[in-house]
């Protein structure tokens, strides 16, 4: 409930509160901008570290391909009016099955075709226990 401003003191207080609110919003925006920059730099570093890793590249290609196929299929189903929650649930289950299969295939490729030393170079932060 806003009442009319009757004194100069009230006007000054409202101006001061507005300036404080604006400064707070500016500080918050600056902080979020820094967080976004840090997150982008972290993602870029991860990509640069793994750009020669065939499993990483294969997964990236598989994700893009699967996303494209699912998006196009969903659009076609929606256009014909056949897109239901049952269809979405079925596709979600297929994506989950694909993810599980991709995980195990990636592990197989990593541990079958790469030596212990190359794994340590690709993933220096992980510790691998390889049983001969």
37, 82: one domain: no
Q: How do residues 93-128 score in pLDDT, each as one tens digit? A: 999 999 999 888 888 887 777 666 666 666 666 665
**The two structure tokens encoding residue 9:** 């003191």
Q: How many Å apart are CA 124 and CA 102, to the nearest integer?
A: 22
Three-state secondary structure string covering 62-113: HHHHHHHHHHHHHHHHHHHCCCCHHHHHHHHHHHHHHHHHHHHHHHHHHHHH
pLDDT over 70 (residue 84): yes
60, 35: one domain: no
Q: How many Å apart are CA 130 and CA 52, to the nearest integer?
A: 22
The answer to the question of residue 92 being in a domain is yes
Q: Give me the domain span that covers residue 13.
A: 7-51
Structural domain count, the chain: 2
Residue found under tokens 């920059």: 37
- CA–chain centroid gap for 23, Å, is 30
28, 78: one domain: no
Residue pair 56/106 in contact (Cβ under 8 Å)? The answer is no
Q: Which residues contact 51 (CB under 8 A, 6 or more apart)?
A: 57
47, 82: one domain: no
40, 82: one domain: no
Q: How do residues 6-55 score in pLDDT, each as one tens digit? A: 788 888 888 899 899 999 999 999 999 999 999 999 888 887 877 777 77
34, 85: one domain: no
The answer to the question of residue 1 being in a domain is no
Q: Which residues contact 95 (CB under 8 A, 6 or more apart)?
A: 66, 70
42, 60: one domain: no
The answer to the question of residue 2 being in a domain is no
130, 69: one domain: yes
84, 119: one domain: yes
């Amino acid at each position: 409930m806003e009442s009319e401003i009757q004194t100069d003191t009230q006007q000054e207080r409202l101006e001061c509160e507005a300036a404080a609110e604006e400064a707070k919003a500016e500080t918050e925006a600056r902080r979020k901008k820094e967080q976004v920059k840090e997150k982008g730099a972290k993602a870029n570093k991860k990509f640069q570290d793994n750009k020669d890793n065939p499993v990483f590249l294969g997964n990236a290609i598989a994700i893009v391909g699967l996303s494209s196929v699912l998006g196009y299929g969903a659009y076609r189903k929606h256009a014909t009016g056949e897109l239901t929650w049952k269809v979405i649930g079925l596709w979600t289950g297929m994506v989950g099955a694909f993810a599980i299969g991709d995980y195990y295939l990636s592990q197989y490729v990593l541990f079958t075709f790469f030596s212990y030393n190359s794994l340590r170079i690709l993933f220096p932060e992980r510790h691998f226990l390889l049983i001969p």
